[in-house]
A and B are shown apart, each in its own frame.
Chain A
Amino acid sequence: MAHKKNRNVGIIGIGQTKHSSHREDVNQPELIHEAVSLALKDANLTMKDIDCVVHGNMELFEMVHSPDLWHVLGTGAYGKDCIRITTGGTVGATLSCASDNLTASGMYDIVMAIGFEKLQEGHTTGGITNMADPLWFRKIQAGALTGSSAYDVEREFGLERANRASLTYRIIMDKHAGLNPNAHRAFGLDFNQIDDLIRTSPKLVGELKLIEMCSQSDGACCVIFACEKKAKEISKTPVWIRDHITVHKEETFSIFGYNREFPVMKTHKFAAEQLFKRNGIKDPLNYFDVFEMYDPASWWAIDWLRDFFDLKGDEHLKLIENKEIMIGGKLPINPSGGVIGSNPIGATALIRVAEAAMQVRGNAGPHQIPTPVNHALASGFGGTMWTVMTMLEKELNW
């Protein structure tokens, strides 16, 4: 059984900025306003129709306190109920969960979720580190930079195969990003550059290379949710939220893991198992038509595929090596180009839900999957070991 809902909830409006390394031409509310205006236009609504605004970003990344208040200039939340959410990297996914819950509960008919980031303005490490306490595992953070996944994959499958799988994944993401007009980075990479990139891309930690890391982006995303009745009235193609799950594990503020026997990053596996079990999905790899995965680096991405879909042996590497995760493959992953393509953190996980919903609607643009998309999956990931997964459906028939 999926978690109890008083009523169904559909996504009826989506707006995103073009994501970019810097936006000197706008301040924070102005950037948000772009996404909000696009989402309202997409849903053919005005702010008058919105009952509640759910605002999210990374705490302190822009050095502004109470950003939801200042951002009213761009969110349109003046005189409306407004809630601020900050759950780290997952915040965008949590925005979606909260909006779904607020609508499903009957509290509001139409809820607008806004995720945003303007990394250029603040000091990310300052925001993450805040108060370090070396005695109690509150380490001085250097951002989401870890080589442990690379070590793990390398030890299991050998350096050559591991490196090639990571770079293949990376190049697939670059090709996808090249199709997405909103993506921040698309270099035009090709598979024949793999050997060159392995040799030349600067190494950050172990085999984790610069080219394999996500970008630092500025951008905003806005998604409008409506109860079933309103969604059917307003939208020709509402995308239904079937279920979502949040799992976290933060007895230590660390993303490195202690050792192979005691890895930290088990929340993806646990979340996926619970979510699929309670929805009666026995073969998720076949069930889903697209997966928008929060992939901060290609090493993590290839490792996590195994966790999400409970794959055995080297099945996850084969999916990548056979390019089954490309648009046109068995399970396209991140037709948007993913987090490696664009990472406005507070918006990133909401973009996963938005992009998955666009695929279900069938109007994602140049990066639309050519075959029908009926079932979509989106994931969020955050620095304090959070996993959020969201299931989207084209039809209300589950």
Chain B
Amino acid sequence: MTTKQMKGFEDSYVVEGRMALPYTYFAGRVGSKFITTIRDQKKIMGVKCPTCNVVYLPPRQVCDKDFTDIRDKWVDVSNTGTVSNFTVVRYDDKHLPRKAPFVLALIKLDGADTPFMHILEECEIVEVKIGMKVEAVFAKETTNTILDIDHFKPAAERISVHEINATRKQWVPVDEPDTQGKRKGGKPDMSKPVIITAALSGAATMKNQISSVPYTPAEFAEEAYKCWKAGAAMVHVHAREDAGMATHEHARIKATYDAIKDKCPDIIICLTSAVGMGKTAEQRLSQIVAIKPEVASLNTNSMNFGIVDRKTGKVFIDYVFENTFTMVQDFGKAMEENGVKPEIECYDMGGLDNAMLIGRQGIFTDPMNFNFVWGVAGGQAFRAESFIAMMNALPAKANFTTCGVGTDQFPCIMQSCILGGHMRVGLEDNIKMPNGDLAKGSYEQVEVAVAIANNLGRPVATTDEARLIMGIKKR
């Protein structure tokens, strides 16, 4: 403490003091998990209140609006977001994280409902605007603080599929007699929209592998909505019980179907008629007839359908997936009679031939929609020449899409897109991204498919266009 006298006030002392203000901040368990997830997984998580559906970021233990305890309600949010407000710090001080001038921005991350404060860099201060898209840059070295996100920087502009589709002309079918000839020659009509399907669950992908695989109707609805937003026109669904087992129970499948339709009314739903291991033909078919989705899968051959170690060849699960000619015929007839368009699943050329053979009875209406499936242990692995052979064996008006298990996923859909076919992605087939990271959800693989379409100059089909192409009527 010191005293001084100001000029002109020689009879008055001014006492000057100075105090340090040390403090400790206890982040608590919730706050600590927020930081450690950023540190260890480069992932930003918030909590979602089940009462008011608000996603809080940073996370908090209690929803202040309805006092719901939300400490366990963790959800992933995006590393990208929007600047909702900002200020420019124009003085230097010890407690400030950067040398002035710098920008502190309130950023609302995609998937969060509340903004949080961080440093915004890698752009001129005059370029910072409310509403600009930004993305997190993670720190190279951890400090176990919020500065494990080092800063935010302007995000690469990504215009949504729906914005692009809103500004282009809708695709109209043209009757081209030589379509098949052009396609065989590898010169398909690249202006034809590509239908992206997301297979959300399958029967065997479990939450212990990837937490975003949906089990409950609400989770299916949320995943389907994210996929639709990313550009998918169709979702393929194996409904699950709460514990994750694939189910043939009509009520549960109906609840799952309805939840998706409620959340995302435009999207096409393709229900499985395989359901899962050990289901009877009656269990597999009756739910399709009961629910009458727009599309259902139709499997074409009895085959091994197991789980085999890809490196050692060791058999983990041995199973024969039964699809006799009678079943293919009965399933196909029942679907067509109930206005359900079959998606004909071909695990090899023989399956395709089986469908064509049964088709002589006149069961299937045009256009027939085929799905070439690669990489099932029991079916064929992906090979470019096999793909072309199958494509060239299709009837003239048929459509084809494709999906591949594991690392076959992205190469096979890219080949399909080049050749004028469609693309299926999703956690049923593969839980990873092209770089080997776990996908955040099926929607992130949809984003890869959209990027493939964009790079090849093919428009991404809207749900209406997908219905036109596949010959299905909206329910």
Bitwise, A320-334 to B at CB < 8 A (1) or not (0) is: 000000000000000
Q: Which of A374-392 contact B (CB under 8 A)?
A: none
CB neighbours of B25 from chain A (8 A): 27, 121
Who on chain A is nearest to B22 by CB?
A123
Is B27's CB under 8 angstroms from A63's CB?
no
Is A27's CB under 8 angstroms from B31's CB?
yes
Is A46's CB under 8 angstroms from B17's CB?
no
Is A27's CB under 8 angstroms from B17's CB?
no
CB neighbours of A62 from chain B (8 A): 23
B19, B21, B29: the one within 8 Å of A26 (CB): B29
CB neighbours of B21 from chain A (8 A): 63, 123, 126
Q: Please list 10 pairs of residues, one from A and one from B, whose beta carbons are closer than 8 Å in the complex, sorted by A's number.
A: A23-B26, A24-B28, A27-B26, A29-B60, A29-B61, A33-B62, A37-B69, A76-B62, A121-B25, A132-B1
B23, B61, B67: the one within 8 Å of A46 (CB): B67
Who on chain B is nearest to A37 by CB?
B69
CB neighbours of B27 from chain A (8 A): 27
User: Is A73 an interface position by the 8 A CB rule?
Assistant: yes
Chain A contact-residue range equals 20 to 34
Q: Which of A113-153 contact B (CB under 8 A)?
A: 118, 120-123, 126, 129, 131-135
User: Is A30 an interface position by the 8 A CB rule?
Assistant: yes
Known: A25-B28, A118-B26, A121-B25. A76 touches B67 (CB 8 A): yes
CB neighbours of A135 from chain B (8 A): 15
How far, in angstroms, from A62 to B29 measured CA to CA in the complex? 19
Name the residue in B23, B27, B62, B69 with the highest tally of chain A Cβ atoms < 10 Å from its Cβ.
B62
How far, in angstroms, from A266 to B28 measured CA to CA in the complex? 42
User: Is A72 an interface position by the 8 A CB rule?
Assistant: yes
How far, in angstroms, from A121 to B21 measured CA to CA in the complex? 11
CB neighbours of A29 from chain B (8 A): 60-62
The minimal Cβ–Cβ distance linking A71 to chain B, given in whole angstroms, is 10
Bitwise, A61-78 to B at CB < 8 A (1) or not (0) is: 011000000001110101
* Interface positions of B (Cβ within 8 A of A): 1, 15, 17, 19-31, 60-62, 64-65, 67, 69
Is B28's CB under 8 angstroms from A27's CB?
yes
Name the residue in B23, B24, B26, B65 with the highest tally of chain A Cβ atoms < 10 Å from its Cβ.
B26
Who on chain B is nearest to A28 by CB?
B26
Interface of B is mostly: loop
User: Is A301 an interface position by the 8 A CB rule?
Assistant: no
Is B61's CB under 8 angstroms from A33's CB?
yes
A46, A78, A129, A133: the one within 8 Å of B64 (CB): A78
Known: A73-B60, A132-B1. A26 touches B17 (CB 8 A): no
CB neighbours of A134 from chain B (8 A): 1, 15
User: Is A47 an interface position by the 8 A CB rule?
Assistant: yes
How far, in angstroms, from A132 to B1 measured CA to CA in the complex? 9
The minimal Cβ–Cβ distance linking A32 to chain B, given in whole angstroms, is 10
The minimal Cβ–Cβ distance linking B13 to chain A, given in whole angstroms, is 9
How far, in angstroms, from A222 to B7 measured CA to CA in the complex? 54
CB neighbours of A76 from chain B (8 A): 62, 64, 67
Is A121's CB under 8 angstroms from B26's CB?
yes
How far, in angstroms, from A151 to B17 measured CA to CA in the complex? 33
- 11 A-B pairs besides A30-B29, A74-B62, A134-B1 with CB distance below 8 A are A22-B26, A26-B26, A26-B61, A29-B61, A30-B61, A30-B62, A73-B64, A79-B65, A121-B23, A132-B17, A134-B15
